[in-house]
Amino acid sequence: MIADLAALLAPVTPEQFFAEYHDRKPLHVRGTPGKFAQVLSWRQINRLLDMTHIWSAASLKLVIDSETIPPDRFCTRTLGRDQAQVMQPDARLVQQWIAKGASVVMNDVDSLTPGLASVSAALEDAGLGKTQANVYISWQAHKAFRTHYDTHDVWAVQVEGEKDWNIWEGRAEWPIPHPAFKGQPQAHHDQARGKLREVVTLKPGDLLYLPRGWYHDALANAAASVHVAYGVHAPLGMDLLNLLMERALHDPEFRKPLPRQDGSAPAKFALTQRAGMLGQRLAEFAKEPKAMELLAQFVAGYRYHRGGYDLLAARGIGSSADAAPDGAAAFRVVANGAKPVRRGAEWVVKTVSGALALTPAEAEAASWLLARPDVTAPELARAHPGVEAEVLLGKLSGAGLLAPAA
């Protein structure tokens, strides 16, 4: 798992990043092949796509040679769980397009697995803004998107294969998701991108940071490539306007009608005076301590809130948190009521195939473990450092008392 921003950026430090790169220029960080191994894998991709009912024509998209494939070409119309008509991706049709070279885009996946969520949390915990993630799966020699910029910072995490990124010199001036920016023609982008700045080859474990508005395009140079693009949306100056709007609601001057206009000079003068006065009042609002306190709280808390569920803990009867710490595999207790008992000088636990002998230390650890819904080796080792956690888990699993958690 990615514990924090320092782990995501390593060997670059967060201090160096904020001093030299953040909102200034691109950064390519070379990593080891295993750095992002727990973020996503081919096995996890297939497992996510097999969750058929969570995908729609909006959350799963196909693109081939810079052209988006219409949903009716890879989806089938079916009844959703609420019996309403939905367009649902069809595995057979999707894979037919993949065979032709279509790229797959899986949108809004930032909380679907612990690995994906760990990067989201690292970016948001650093105060960078609301973070969402899309997975891009592409194939050699097939470009999904033409040169473009994004209206948010991009953190590209390469998890499989290799991909060449063309980084251009041009940068749009802090664009936002508004038609004024989203509707620009491709001819504009091709001219505004400027000269080629560099070509960056991302390999597994590599990270690429692109500030908002920076022109780029990419092409897989291996048989297959998978990267997760984390889009980080920072709070903007326009958000201050929304806060001041709330403040203005309580000021009668902003609720009064504006001077009627009849084309005369006095009428225009009255409107100019009123506009100036209201602008001055907004400036005064912005200096109020309460307004600054609310703005600081807004900026500090600007993130998505995910997770936090532990149902058994809510009832005071244990912990059912299913996010295995340290990325370790979890084991589920499947023998309800089983517990070690003493037989003379020995400790045993009953199983369907007989009695399993345990040392006194193992018996103590097993009593703790079997009272839980699930466990991981690191959890067991921390709670009972006197036993070999992996050995005990192996014994209990082999005896049918534990099973790998889903």
Residue 48 has a pLDDT of 95
Which residues lie closer than 8 Å to 348 by C-beta, 6 or more apart? 340, 341, 355, 356, 357, 358
Which of 135-144, 299-308, 339-348, 359-368 is predicted least confidently? Answer: 135-144
Give a yes or no: residue 305 inside a domain.
no
Provide the percentage of residues in the chain whose pLDDT is more than 70.
Answer: 97
Provide the percentage of residues in the chain whose pLDDT is more than 90.
Answer: 73
Out of 64-68, 166-170, 180-184, give the one with best mean pLDDT.
166-170
Interatomic CA distance for residues 111 and 47, integer angstroms: 15
Map residue 212 onto helix, strand or coil: coil
Token pair for residue 171? Answer: 């940068």
- Which residues constitute the domain of residue 267? 237-300
Out of 119-123, 139-143, 313-317, give the one with best mean pLDDT.
119-123
Mean pLDDT of the 117-134 span: 96
Q: Does residue 334 have a pLDDT over 90? A: no
pLDDT category of residue 5 using cuts at 50, 70 and 90 = very high
Residues 330 and 289 both lie in one domain: no
Q: Does residue 146 have a pLDDT over 60? A: yes
Q: What are phi and psi of 128, to 5 degrees?
A: -85, -20
Token pair for residue 238? Answer: 């326009």
Higher pLDDT, 215 or 222: 215
Residues 216 and 338 both lie in one domain: no
Residue 320 has a pLDDT of 56
Amino acid at 203: K
> How many residues appear in the chain?
406
Give a yes or no: residue 42 inside a domain.
yes
pLDDT category of residue 234 using cuts at 50, 70 and 90 = very high
Query: Whole-model pTM above 0.85?
Result: no
Give a yes or no: residue 306 inside a domain.
no
Residues 225 and 341 both lie in one domain: no
Residues 36 and 81 both lie in one domain: yes
Write down which residue in 185, 209, 233 finishes a domain. 233
Residues 275 and 162 both lie in one domain: no
pLDDT category of residue 321 using cuts at 50, 70 and 90 = low
Q: Does residue 57 have a pLDDT over 50? A: yes
**What confidence tens digit (pLDDT) does each residue in 364-399 have?**
999 999 988 788 899 899 999 999 999 999 999 999
Q: Does residue 322 have a pLDDT over 60? A: no
pLDDT category of residue 323 using cuts at 50, 70 and 90 = very low
Amino acid at 230: Y
Distances (CA, A) of 224 to 142, 147, 254, 279, 399: 10, 21, 58, 55, 42
**What confidence tens digit (pLDDT) does each residue in 148-175 have?**
999 999 999 999 999 999 999 999 999 9
Q: Which residues pair with 341 in a beta bridge?
A: 348
Residue 126 has a pLDDT of 96
Residues 40 and 178 both lie in one domain: yes
**What confidence tens digit (pLDDT) does each residue in 12-44 have?**
999 999 999 999 999 999 998 889 988 998 888
Q: What are phi and psi of 12, to 5 degrees?
A: -70, 140
Number of domains in the chain: 3
Q: Does residue 326 have a pLDDT over 60? A: no
Residue 318 has a pLDDT of 65
pLDDT category of residue 144 using cuts at 50, 70 and 90 = confident
Residue 392 has a pLDDT of 95
Residues 91 and 130 both lie in one domain: yes
Q: Average pLDDT of the chain?
A: 91
Q: Which residue has the tokens 């664009």?
A: 175
Higher pLDDT, 144 or 138: 138
Residue 393 has a pLDDT of 94
Residues 263 and 386 both lie in one domain: no
Residues 338 and 283 both lie in one domain: no
Mean pLDDT of the 268-296 span: 95
Mean pLDDT of the 53-81 span: 91
Residues 98 and 177 both lie in one domain: yes
Q: Does residue 142 have a pLDDT over 80? A: no
Residue 353 has a pLDDT of 78
